[in-house]
Structures are given as structure tokens and as C-alpha cells.
Amino acid sequence: MRRLLLQPLLTATLILIATTPISGLVLQGYSFSFHWQSPLFLAAAAFVLHLGLILGRIWSRNQFRPVAALRLQKGAWATGPEWRRAMSLLLPAIGLALPFFLDKYGLTVAILALIYVLLALGLNIVVGLAGLLDMGFVAFYAVGAYGYALGHHYLGLGFWTALPMAALLAAGCGLLLGFPVLRMHGDYLAIVTLGFGEIIRLILNNWMDFTGGPNGVQVDFPTFMGLEFSRRAKEGGVPIHEFLGIAYSSNIRNIFIYLVLFLVVLLVLALVTRLKYMPLGRTWEALREDEIACRSLGINHVVVKLSAFAMGAMIGGVGGVFFAASQGFVNPTSFTFFESALVLAIVVLGGLGSIPGVVIAAIVLTILPELLRDFSGYRILVFGLAMVAMMIWRPQGLIRPQRRIFLTGRH
Amino acid sequence: MLLEVQNLSMRFGGVLALRQVSFDVDWGSITAIIGPNGAGKTTAFNCITGFYKAQQGNVLFSPPNRPTMDISRMLGQPFSWSDWVQPRQALSKLGYQLFGGPHMICRAGIARTFQNVRLFKEMTVLENLLVAQHQQLNRYFIGGMFHTKAFRNEEEMAINRAMDWLQFFGLAQDANRPAGQLPYGHQRRVEIARSLCTDPVILCLDEPAAGLNPHETKDLSQLIRRMRSDFNLTILLIEHDIGLVMELSDHIVVLDHGEVIARGAPAEIQQNPKVVEAYLG
């Protein structure tokens, strides 16, 4: 009990010392006033948070002990459980703090990288886990983006309504694509999905009355609890910088999008990781390994394939909504075959089915072309060389997908 | 009778692979199908386990305490004019056409293995066995997402059940190895263990001893016998190893050119002049 309270108290004290000069003292001209409430509030919050973390850890330890204990094999990613745990806390913290240190350009790249992480995680389900070679994944990305844009244009949907709606719409399109290709494998499947991707793009390009064709659609910027991110709010709304009492900066909107996107990426990561070890995820992998054996074990391959398509498409659709929200404008040129190929390259380079590998590859492959902007003429060349080198030295991808190890002794 | 095969005919283009094949499998028996290469053994097997749709004939499966099932119906039959008069039949046909298939046969209680071992090679042995328990498991999405107690209990039960079977086959120490890395003989046993995880009434083994050395074959025949005695399984097998077949089976069906040329106990078959001419030599 003493140890339980000691650490949170220490945290609270540190927070108190650190925040008193910053938030407790408010300058008013040449004098300053002392607000003792705010640092105390922050310290109390830190105390509660830390206590919650400790209690959560104790609870989860008790929760997991009786299960046939599961541990992961040592490998490229995990050098040890402590190291892993530290990283799993540190990386989200870095990710959340990152936007406050980036300039506008950096933020745009970071948002793009996260969108590609989402797309890659979605395609990883279809290609990496279920083994269905999908060359038209950009279609679902487009459906998500246009779902938000057109939903706003015609129905007046806001960002928060559009997010789940567009995700469901994309999942529906995944099912729609899934039905005709149930009997196909490998190359044939690749060609049909490629066609599907082009069909969606051509519809968006040519249906002038509905989608605006090549002129694209304007997208409303997202709001947060009714607060807007523009300099001056429309029709009596309150812009967020006035609400928070800070100076206006065009970065605030991007920071907001980044933070929401980051949380969504964390959520999707948790979802995908859990799915991999659930009966549904296991059947996806079994389907990739051998479809006939799957059927001989009483698994309905139709359900398994459609669920993989729908789940992957849904995640791609979410990526599309964020793309539309961050760009403020969508048109069909953003959804060409090159995007599909890029996402597929990310999944293959990251290691088919390996979640950390795919995340790293997505980040590297979006940031690398930005770093190579100075050699823009040779960008694709360097990109290609990097891929060839990868295929020579790490044909399995950056990080080999790891199998879960079960401790099988009876206890 | 547990399984009744009645006048099964199957044609691939111009080749008549099965011609009016009929035989029965008793509950709790070990029945073997033998015959020269190309006699239609595997085709008959695929018709029984639902991987092929026979053009003619029925396969009736009557597991204890359950109504008799017609396997060809479960695979989805084409509609006919008489469906207009019998809408109920038409509805059931539609249902089976939409959702039917080999997986229904497995769920009914007919498990099978393959001539060329079909394991999920990249997955571990234990995961192979967990996939096979898919039908029995808790598949609630929310439960798995939040690792609820019910979900964890079921997962643990599945792991234990899989380990039981692995222990039975002497493979417990290989549980966490990728299935593709095991030696061939072990892979065969993993495949049998995996099909047993579907909780079948009848187990169909397609050449279980192919590629095994004499020692492994002997172990296998003991295992097959124990499967029957300890777990009340009925076993139907295709095999080329005549020694194994004669030693194991209660009932033998001999196929040649898609036709049944003999049926009976091992001793009768060995004496049958037609069988000696066509196969035993």
C-alpha cells in the first residue's frame, strides 16, 4: 500500500515543482499574479493518472496469470519483454508530443505518414494475413475520402459523423468486391481487384454531376466539440484559439487532425494485433496457407474471405476520411494505381503479416521520398534501388512476422 | 449403417471415374478402399467428403442420435422444375447453394486428411489444431477484442484440447514449431490430429502411410486402432500398403476402373480371383 502511493506522490510533487512557475505565475504587464489552483490541479491529475496506471497494471497482471501464459519468441523486434514494454509506452508518448515540435511542412508529412500506416494496416489484413493479392486497395481509400467529401457536400455530414459512416461504406464496398472474386486466387484476383480500383477512380472522374469530376469536391474542415479551427468562425461559432485563449495559428488544425489520427492509428493497431490472435484472424492466416484444408476443417471460406476484405476496406476507408480532412479537397488524381502499388510495396517491404514491420515501412516509405526531394529527378530511382536492396537482403520484409509461442505445460 | 454410398457416378469430361459405386461403412469399423492407381479411390473419397459433386447417386450419412443427412444435397443441387411445386424443397436447395459446401460435411461429422499433406505450413502445430476447432470456439468479436473471461477460458480449453491430441500422437514437444518444418512423418500425424480436433464421427484417411518408413507405418497402425478403441471413431481409409490394410481393416472395398469389383473381409478379398488379377498380382 505504501509503495502503491509513494510513486504517484513522487510524480505529483515533481509535477507541482515543474508546473508552478509555468502555469501558476501569470504575467500582467510588469507585475504577476499567483494562481495556486492550476498547478495543484495538474499535480492531482498526475497523481490520479499514475495511481490508475499502477492499479491497471496490477489488475491486468491478475487477469492474465491464469491463462496458459503466452509469451513471444525472441526476435528482431523484441529483444526483451522490459524493452518492449518501455517502447510500447514511449513510442505513443513521442507520437503524441511530436506535432508540437513540427512546422507546417513537417506536420503535413507526419499526417501523410500516419494515413499510410492506416492504409498499410488495412491492406496487411487482406494481403498479409488472408493472402488475397489486392491491387486496387486505393478504391477503398477513395471511397472513404469521397464518402466524407460528398457526404458533407450533399448531406451536410460533419467529420465525426462521416468517420464511422465512410468506414461502413468502405466495408460495404469491400464486401461488394469480395463476392465476385470468391473463386479467384493469386494473379487472377490481382487483375480483378486492379480493375475494381480503376472503376472507382473512373466513376469519380467521369460522373460530373455527382462527384464534380476532375474538379474535385471541397471538404469542410473538422471541428472539435463545435469549436472551429479557422481564424474566424462561421455564424456565431467559436474558433478554438479564442476558446483556449491562445494566438491563432494555421497549425492548430493540423495538430488536431494529427492527434485524432494518431489515436485512431493506435486503436487500429490494437484492433489488428488482437484480431491476429482471435479465431477470426487465425482463419485468415489458415486461408492464406491452404484454402482446401480450411474447407476440410469446416471453415466457410466465403465468410472468411469477405470478412478480410471488409475489415481491410474499412481501415482503408478511415484513412481516406483523414486524407480528405487534412487536404480540405479531394479529386480523383489522388487515387491512381500508383497509390495502390505504393501501399502494396509498404506491406511487402514491411513483411507480409508483420504488424510492426508494416508500420515502420509505411513511415519510412512516406518520409524517404520527402527527404529525397532535393534529388527529385532521381527520387523514383533511389526508391526502386532501396526496394531491390531490400528484396536481396531481407526478402521476408523488414521484420519477419512472428508466431505466438504458447507455454504448453499443464499448470 | 453409418455411411451408405449408393450408385455413385462421377464423370470428368469423357472419363468415367466412378461407375455405380456402392458400399457401406459400419459404425465403429475400419473400412479400407484399395485398388490400382487411377481406379477412382480418391475420387470416391472426394465425393464422400464433399470436395466433388457426384453426378449421380447418393451418400447417406446417419450419425448416432441425429437424422440421416444426404451429402450431395448439402453441397447444393441444381434447381429443377419440380421445385415450383415444392417451395420448401426449393428453399432448402437455395440455402444449401448459398451456404453449402465441403465445410458443411465436416461440420456434420466427416473429417478427412489429404494424400499430399495439407498443413498450414507457416503456422505452428498448435495453431493448426486451434484453427480446426474454429466451429467450437467463442467467436464473439467483442469478447476477443476485450479479452473477456469467457473468451480466455475458451481459448485455454481449445489449447488444452489441442495439447491432448498432440500428446496422443506423441507430438507435444513440437507444439510451437512451424508445421512446415517438421519431418514428413510427423506432418502426417499433425494432419490427423488436426482433423480430429473438428470432433468427427468418421475419419477419412487418404493414404496415411504414404511416404512413411516401416517403423512409422507400424506406429500408425497402432494409432489408428487406438483411435477407434479409445474414441469410438469410425475410420475409412485409402491405402496402398496391403500389409497394413489386411492387418487393420474389418471391411475392404476394391475398386478398379471406377467400379467396385469386390467387397468383404480381408480374408475373402485375398482369395478373390478378380482382385488378385486386377491388383494383388
- Tens digit of each residue's pLDDT (9 = 90 or more) over B208-260: 998 889 999 999 999 999 999 999 899 999 998 888 999 999 999 999 999 99
Verify that B22 and B154 share a domain, yes or no: no
The CA distances from residue B56 to A156, B6, B53, B74, B151, in Å, are 60, 9, 9, 14, 44
Least confident segment among A1-10, A39-48, B59-68, B96-105: A1-10
Q: A294 CB near a chain B CB, below 8 Å?
A: yes
* ipTM, two decimals: 0.89
What is the domain count for chain B?
2
In the predicted structure, residue A236 carries a pLDDT above the cut 70: no
Least confident segment among A70-79, A342-351, B45-54: A70-79
A292 contacts in chain B (CB < 8 Å): 51, 114, 118
Report the pLDDT averaged over residues B110-116. 93
Q: A299 CB near a chain B CB, below 8 Å?
A: yes
Is B226 domain-assigned? yes
Least confident segment among A63-72, A112-121, A150-159, A363-372: A63-72
In the predicted structure, residue A74 carries a pLDDT above the cut 50: no
Q: A63 CB near a chain B CB, below 8 Å?
A: yes
pLDDT at position A75, please? 34
* DSSP state letters, B107-135: HHTEEE--SS----TTSBHHHHHHHHTGG
Q: Any idea where the domains of chain A sit in the sequence?
A: 2-27+35-58, 98-401
The CA distances from residue B115 to A303, B12, B247, in Å, are 27, 20, 21
CA atoms within 13 A on the CB side of B238: 23
A303 contacts in chain B (CB < 8 Å): none
Is B114 domain-assigned? no
Measured CA angle at B60 (ends B27, B165), to 5 deg: 45
State the DSSP code for B84: G
Nearest to A163 by CA among A174, A180, A147, A187: A147
More confident of the two residues B114 and A55:
B114
Report the pLDDT averaged over residues A189-201. 92
Verify that B167 and B218 share a domain, yes or no: no
Percent of chain A residues past pLDDT 70, beyond the cut:
87
Please write the tens of the pLDDT for every residue from B158-176.
Answer: 898 999 999 999 998 888 8
Q: A68 CB near a chain B CB, below 8 Å?
A: yes
Distance separating alpha carbons of residues A149 and A141, to the nearest angstrom:
12
Identify the domain containing residue B128 by its residue range: 119-199
More confident of the two residues A307 and A79:
A307
pLDDT at position A411, please? 38
Residues for chain B: how many in total? Answer: 281
Fold of A98-401: ABC transporter involved in vitamin B12 uptake, BtuC (1.10.3470)
Paired sense of beta strands B110-112 and B69-70, if any: unpaired
Distance separating alpha carbons of residues A382 and A340, to the nearest angstrom:
19
In the predicted structure, residue A160 carries a pLDDT above the cut 60: yes
Q: What mean pLDDT, rounded, does chain A reach?
A: 83
Verify that B16 and B103 share a domain, yes or no: yes
pLDDT at position A71, please? 39
Distance separating alpha carbons of residues B128 and A274, to the nearest angstrom:
18
Please write the tens of the pLDDT for every residue from A255-299.
Answer: 889 999 999 999 999 999 889 888 999 999 999 999 999 999 999
Top mean pLDDT of A18-32, A74-88, B60-74, B133-147 is at B60-74
CA distance, residue B104 to nearest chain A CA (Å): 6
Among the candidates B159, B183, B199, a domain finishes at B199
pLDDT at position A235, please? 66
Is B127 domain-assigned? yes
In the predicted structure, residue A70 carries a pLDDT above the cut 70: no
